[in-house]
Amino acid sequence: MKPETIDLRSDTVTRPTKAMRAAMAEAEVGDDVIDIDPTAERLQQLTAELLGKEAAIFMPSGSMTNQIAVRLHCRPGDEFLCESGCHIYNYEQGAFAQLSGVVARTVEGEHGVLQLAQLEDLIRPQNDHLVRTRLVCLENTHNRGAGRVQPYPVVEAITGWAQSHGLRTHLDGARLFNAVAATGIAAEQWAKHFDTVSVCFSKGLGAPVGSALAGPRDLIREARRHRKLFGGGMRQVGVIAAGALFALEHHRDRLAEDHANARILAEAIRNSPGLKLVPDLVESNMVIFAVDPALGSATDFMAALQQAGVLMLSISPAKIRAVTHLDVDSKQVRKAGEIIRQCAERLSSVSRR
């Protein structure tokens, strides 16, 4: 018999639970392009409420929420500041340039965390040669930073500085509820420092599809126009909004379990020859580790894991990311940890011969 697969590639791989599917099947729907879909409307209201914003709008992806946020805050020829590993810059095909004529200025953080002092001199003076600095984007938790939670005082300092200089602020909160679970700081507390905030329902919360952008009512009204322009107007969207609503109502509190499971995984990696956590820090549902070249490449190591039934994702030639989520329990995570250790031991003994 084939061993069961333990899929740690991403927290996006979760399948809707039975109860979630039931909520989706029974969702009340309408045409959300002509006027409104009642289920999407309820989701948008709850999202806005949790984030302490006037309004929110449901969209098909987190990339769309981020790119529409950039478009709301910037005009062609404007620039935004961001951390060099962030999703908006690295994993959205430079859509800010392709779709909105905006440039990004990246600043290298420490595992995704910037300090105010790194930004203070970066606002461009008024001069016909220069782009205009308009926006600061932060990411919480930070994906490339191995799920790192932004330190709250850093968020306060950077956003406070941005506002005092007339810059807009956007939070890529694809995993903001993980930051909430990790710190106990409410979503609203994090969100109040930003003009706009995006959240994903399709990551740790476990919905099949969807994200939302929250902010002031006038900006969200404008975002609705841009969503239509970008092809994101959806008709009886309540069917998928119901999955997102179910996730938001029922799956926030359990994120702490994913974090505990990530710590189990981290412990196994620490105890494996030739593997090293980078950073050696587990704050939410993710770990990133480097594979010693003596064991082979990240791809070699992942092939060995896959043979034993564990899936992960390589994020560079020597680095692998593993993410815990709703569809893996602590027993499976312990088993995955055991498999990691066995693969590392086997490959390191081969390399010693």
**Contacting positions for ligand PLP (CB under 6 A):** 61-63, 66, 87, 139, 143, 172, 174, 200, 202-203, 211
| C-alpha to C-alpha distance for 128 and 100, rounded to whole angstroms | 20
| C-alpha to C-alpha distance for 349 and 175, rounded to whole angstroms | 38
Smallest gap from residue 174 Cβ to ligand PLP (A): 3
Smallest gap from residue 64 Cβ to ligand PLP (A): 7
For ligand PLP, the closer of residues 32 and 139 by Cβ is: 139
| C-alpha to C-alpha distance for 113 and 119, rounded to whole angstroms | 12
| C-alpha to C-alpha distance for 352 and 132, rounded to whole angstroms | 56
For ligand PLP, the closer of residues 44 and 66 by Cβ is: 66
323: its two tokens: 């993410």
**Residue 113 DSSP symbol:** B
For ligand PLP, the closer of residues 87 and 193 by Cβ is: 87
For ligand PLP, the closer of residues 78 and 83 by Cβ is: 83
| C-alpha to C-alpha distance for 58 and 44, rounded to whole angstroms | 6
C-beta pairs of 340-344 under 8 Å, 24+ apart in sequence:
340/265, 340/268, 340/269, 340/272, 340/275, 340/305, 340/310, 341/268, 341/271, 341/272, 342/308, 343/301, 343/304, 343/305, 343/308, 344/272, 344/273, 344/274, 344/275, 344/295, 344/301
Q: Residue of minimal CB distance from ligand PLP?
A: 62
For ligand PLP, the closer of residues 66 and 196 by Cβ is: 66
For ligand PLP, the closer of residues 209 and 275 by Cβ is: 209
Place of tokens 């409410």: 186
Smallest gap from residue 269 Cβ to ligand PLP (A): 21
Smallest gap from residue 207 Cβ to ligand PLP (A): 11
| C-alpha to C-alpha distance for 100 and 103, rounded to whole angstroms | 9
Smallest gap from residue 241 Cβ to ligand PLP (A): 15
Smallest gap from residue 142 Cβ to ligand PLP (A): 7
Smallest gap from residue 108 Cβ to ligand PLP (A): 17
**Residue 183: is the preceding peptide bond cis (ω within 30°)?**
no
What value, to the nearest 5°, has the Cα angle with vertex 140 and ends 97 and 169? 55
| DSSP state string for 235-260 | SSTHHHHHHHHHHHHHSSTTHHHHHH
For ligand PLP, the closer of residues 143 and 324 by Cβ is: 143
Smallest gap from residue 170 Cβ to ligand PLP (A): 11
For ligand PLP, the closer of residues 15 and 165 by Cβ is: 15
